[in-house]
Amino acid sequence: MRYACIILLFTFYSCQENGQKDVSTLPSMTGGINELVIVLEEHLWQGAVGDSLRAVLGAEVQGIPWQESIFDLVQIPPKAFTRIFETHRNLLFFEKGNKASVGFQENTNAKGQLMALVTYQNTQELKVLLKQYASVIAYRFQEYEKERLRAQMVLQTGLEKVFQKHKVDLNVPKDFTLVLDTTDFSWIEYSPKDKEIIQGVLIYEIKPETPFTTWQLLAQRDSLAKQYVQGETTGSYMAVETQHYQPWIKHIESMGCNALEIKGLWKMQNAFMGGPFIAHFIQDTTSNRILAIEGFLFNPGKDKRDKMQLLQLVLESAKMRPAK
């Protein structure tokens, strides 16, 4: 009965215009980052429908050499949907109805909450729906998590000279500090003394005549890292791991320019240290340069997904700054 009421609420609010609901009166959302509660009958979850959902919503995060899924999935049958779940940050409902549909609603029972409702007439139709829209559902929940992170982020305001030099603006969290700043290479990181974690951001330029290919860019990157990102052990320096893990590559647009996104694993040569990284190599034809913005993580023995998600947000925030 409670599940049915929630669906009616969902439908009712989805018909209202934005702004009519007083979000300030709602409780705070619950649940962990990237956790998704799926309200679905058990027999469907254990069958082909569940397989389709796990294949997309439980897919491995690209560019992380450890098995971590894009969402932490929690499946419950409708009868188990109690008050404890009503304020969860991410809710995905399935319900039989008169026609097939996929809809989304924000701030239904909690501030910052995103709910999705999939209605279907029969199991076969549901399978077709998921084939068409499972990736859309995943994308919407992923983007909404990013929006939450952006809203919570307090920005660092002491990096004006760094950004001006590189002709770029970035949204960097307040607790990141400047480690190194040279003519063509800047290093910013979060590295608290009481925790074994490093979240770093590197900003540097690569020779404009460098061929815009993965291995040429990474070779130039490693040359700069060897010079500037050195470990505590004598002779140790940062490099991209290519022998045991092949980088993941995607063509994207950044700052209105053609860019290459590379995700992979970095290591400290001659030392025991490493982790995932994400880099954007940007063809800035206006300034005749290749600008690189890179995020790297050292977080031994712990999950990497959420920390890397923050670094990706930093990279995605890049905006061109006109030279003064």
Q: What is the pLDDT of residue 323?
A: 60
Q: What is the pLDDT of residue 275?
A: 95
Q: Name the CATH superfamily, with its identifier, for domain 160-320.
A: Mog1/PsbP, alpha/beta/alpha sandwich (3.40.1000.10)
Residues of the chain whose pLDDT is less than 70? 1-21, 323-324
| Residue range 242-299, pLDDT digits in tens | 988 899 999 999 999 999 999 999 999 998 899 999 999 999 999 999 999 999 999 9
Sorted by where each begins, the domain ranges of the chain are 2-152, 160-320
Q: What is the pLDDT of residue 211?
A: 95
**CB-side neighbour CA atoms (13 Å) of 147:** 12
| Identity of residue 87 | T
